[in-house]
Structure 1
Amino acid sequence: MATSPTKESIPSIPPSKSTPPLDAPPSPRSHRALRRLQSAHALGQQASNQPSLISQHHRQVLQRNLSPAKKDAGSRARSNSDATNMPSPTPASGGRRPVPVRRPTAEALSLDRLIRDGPPDGDLLGGLEATRLKILDQGIKSDGDGMSSLRIYIWLILLNAPVLETDTYLALIHRGASPAYSKIRNDTFRTLATDPLFRRRVSEASLIRLLNAVAWKLHDAKEERARSVTSIGARTKNTANEHGSPELQASTPAVRSGQRALALKEGSDTAISEPGTYVQGMNVLAAPFLYAARSEAEAFIAFHRFITHECPGYVRGAMDGVHKGLALVDKVLAIVDPKLSLYLTGKGMSAELYAFPSVLTLCACTPPLPEVLRLWDFLFAYGAHLNILCIVAQLLILRNSILSSPSPTKILRSFPPLQAETIKEVALTLIKKIPDDVYAEIVIHAK
């Protein structure tokens, strides 16, 4: 994530769309309305300073009736005065000084223009912060199906994704089946199978190509790491110094401990049959990228950037990042609502039983898809780790139903339809209630 905001910089509650908070600065819309009123007042004042059409006609008639002598005298007088004392130019607007033209700030620009033209004066940090606030306040404009021509480019910016040439993506596709191809084919046909919007826009073949290309990319990265380790080992084996031979040095406890740590790190990717290239659930995590993107290449680079920089722990080995996230759901719920937490614990319901899909897929497993996209706008703007708070927020929204049910398993077996705006509002109120050390765990749990 491009310069992810800190806990203190995230607003506690989203700005109201009807009346702004008393202690909050006016929204960009207020500035624009004020400038329109000022411009109308200035134009009206300027018009009032101009002479009427009748006055201009009388002046023209009077000038034509002047005698030639008076015209000559007036010309000589003007010539003499011009030679001795040049008059200062008079402003054309009734004696008022011209107002200097000021470039609009990033806050005053619309989200569309800010993305299209870039931030004024090259202020990237200011433009990024303005983009985040506009997403929180106004959201990304989209149609009823959640489609927006702007969304994928905002995601690429917020993820700090590099530029990718289409030929690079095509080269990965033309390599054929990756080592994870069979696992991918076992999952793609059931990806968001009950969502008509997704099935109408994204084909299974497109999802297979994307996941297979990502699997090749991850496979190549792992091969490169393995070659680097082998190269370092070869250089160590052929090097001796005053401490003795490499074999003798490698027998020391410190070196053996380091070797075991390296082996565990590399071996953590071997907990699945296609190590480090594909895990079950990546198909659902990739689905919103394909739905929002305008091309497979855009979806590929955004998805690859996301899983390798924002949540590598979710798709690595035994999904240790997902299990850390589930433990944090339980911990956060115990902090913000002890009664609800104790009730679920008494029923033997930990987050491992009901929240695993929501953590792994950033709530993409819960329809409707347009609400998933709106929630992801917020997560990409302020940090994907806030998904933990969004899951707790959904539990708090269901609080009364859960506490009044003798069997909350039926309620939490599948979460109710997402309501992105409500979930964001509740999640933002939770941030200030969480201790700093717990919030730090949330930030790094998926790394």
Structure 2
Amino acid sequence: MQLAGLTRRGLQYIPARGMRSSVRRSRPLLLIATALTLALAVAACGSRAASLRARATGSVGASAQASSSVTIRAAHLIQGTTGWALSDDALSLTSNGGQSWTGITPPGVSAGAIRGVYFLDTQHGWVVSSSASDPDQLEVSVTTDGGTSWSTSALGSPDPSFGNSDLAYVDFADSQHGWVVAMIASSAGILPQGVLFQTTDDGATWQKLQMPVGGPVEFVNATTGWLADGNQGEAAPRFYITSDGGQSWTPETVTPPTGFTQDQATYTIPSFTTSADVVLAAFDNGSSASAGFYQTNDAGTTWQQKATVPAGKPEGDVSPSTAVVNPISWMAVSPYGTSIMAVTQNGASQSSMSPTGLPANSGISDVSFTGTGSTAAGWVVSNTNQCTGKKTGCTEVTALFGTTDGGTHWAQLSVP
């Protein structure tokens, strides 16, 4: 999961308007189990579609802290203070925590046409977009120098179903092996599906594979990966494992907490930053919700709860946004940014903080941290409905916030 010592970073994002395994693994697999009802009006931007869960939207008065002249569709710290942000206007890169930005949108690609972004490290990145000449044709742009230069080629063949969808999930296990899930828009009453593409040559060529459901994928290496069912909330939820690079998939489930049933679950995959594998399992029975980190040491045969984390209100957005800093250190931000839980030492140490600087009652997504402790850098994207009067004339405002002290204090960052 790392390239030349550089940490793997990525995100599956939400575009603006959205175990039993036969594979034995030597390192632990981390499961984040939370309570959530996932809406599928979401999309993914590469690693960690950003992530991919429904983006919570808070509603506050005109005095809200967040203000932005651009719509931020995704943002993610890659390493240290280097990160990228996608707005309606540009894909941009910063090396100083957001103090200044460099435009890195691939030539010939409109920022509004971008469906997915993934950066493996500070140099290697991929962008999936709709072709400017044919909206039914997907394209993939590749950079190996941090966005200074790009090469763009077709991804598969034109498909009319791609023209009505703005969602793609992107993941790379290393600089050569990658996967794209292009979600297909569907009519009412029909569950959305996805088309899976695989590359073994840095995106030069792509092979179309079968997949059981559409949803985000995360691969540990060239062969072993996880798939979260993007149709959850509409059918029996589950997630899947592959041991052959996506050629075949085996369904998996986890035992729900006391008071919940399996059909109340949602599984998705938040961004992660190391070789730790992460899925998000959510349970919401309509009257209560719980959230916690779960870990397995036997490839998913059994799970152990390692820590509880803040959850939202039932039948609302109950899932915290999460980031895995390293295999034993995890962060969880409550749905509306009122609390942050830092979990270290595989759950043996837990600390909760009440952050300052985040806008009140604002939905939080795209959480990323590049370290632990009081000097850790982190980013979140807030999403707020700012209303005047009796909630008339509401405007949705997205904003990027950064911290340099592990999540205690936050400040809004300007994004191009």
The normalised TM-score by structure 2 is 0.26
| Structure that is richer in strand per residue | 2
The normalised TM-score by structure 1 is 0.25
